[in-house]
């Protein structure tokens, strides 16, 4: 099962790396428009985002637009020693610095305790809401402790696969948005 998960990770990362910058921009904008039109986004006061890297669905403009709408925005901050993470409030993009994984995270800001919806990164997703992450378990640990938070995956359409072999600690998504589809998990 682990070999299959690693094989899927490698395959999807390879496809993701073949995308053009124009395609990433265009499809990320389509995904942003779809996200912002969802009822859960409109009704949420506090949204947890991830800061996108390289060939992921771009979130920086989503974060800025959400701040401009007057909503509270939180980004994850990793505690390397405990191998956990919490979301911290941000007022803007200028107070971020790269952590040991080269992911920008809040320098300061209070821990968010009122997140309505969280945008969750991943390598692959299936139509049942299952997620294949990067293998560190940070999001699964966080989401297990905060089960009431609505979980939204943003992905490019090629990241949707038929089935993901789930493991006992995996936490499924409530909604998956790609440039071509919006899948609500019942």
Domain edges within the chain? 2-184
pLDDT digits (tens, 9 = 90+) for 59-98: 999 999 999 999 999 999 998 888 889 999 999 888 899 9
Under a CB-based contact definition with an 8 Å cutoff, are residues 133 and 141 in contact? Answer: no
Biggest CA pair distance of the chain: 44
Distance between CA atoms of residues 38 and 33, nearest Å: 9
Q: Which of 87, 86, 101, 176 is nearest to 131 (CA)?
A: 176
Percent of the chain at pLDDT > 90 equals: 78
Determine the pLDDT at residue 35.
98
For residues 27-53, give the mean pLDDT.
97
pLDDT digits (tens, 9 = 90+) for 10-37: 999 999 999 999 999 999 999 999 999 9
Check whether domain 2-184 has CATH 3.40.50.300, yes or no: no
pTM above 0.85?
A: yes
């Amino acid at each position: 099962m682990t070999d299959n998960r690693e094989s899927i990770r490698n395959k999807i990362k390879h496809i993701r790396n073949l995308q053009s910058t124009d395609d990433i921009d265009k499809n990320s904008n389509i995904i942003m428009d779809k996200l912002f039109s969802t009822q859960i986004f409109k009704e949420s006061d506090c949204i947890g985002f991830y800061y996108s890297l390289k060939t992921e669905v771009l979130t920086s403009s989503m974060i800025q637009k959400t701040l401009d709408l007057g909503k509270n925005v939180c980004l994850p901050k990793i505690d390397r020693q405990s191998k956990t993470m919490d979301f911290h409030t941000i007022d803007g993009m200028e107070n971020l610095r790269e952590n040991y994984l080269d992911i920008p995270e809040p320098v300061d800001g209070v821990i968010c305790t009122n997140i309505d919806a969280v945008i969750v990164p991943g390598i692959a997703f299936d139509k049942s809401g299952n997620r294949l992450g990067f293998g560190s378990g940070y999001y699964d640990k966080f989401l297990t402790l905060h089960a009431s938070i609505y979980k939204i995956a943003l992905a490019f359409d090629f990241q949707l696969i038929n089935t993901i072999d789930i493991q006992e600690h995996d936490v499924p998504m409530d909604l998956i948005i790609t440039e071509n589809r919006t899948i609500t998990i019942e």
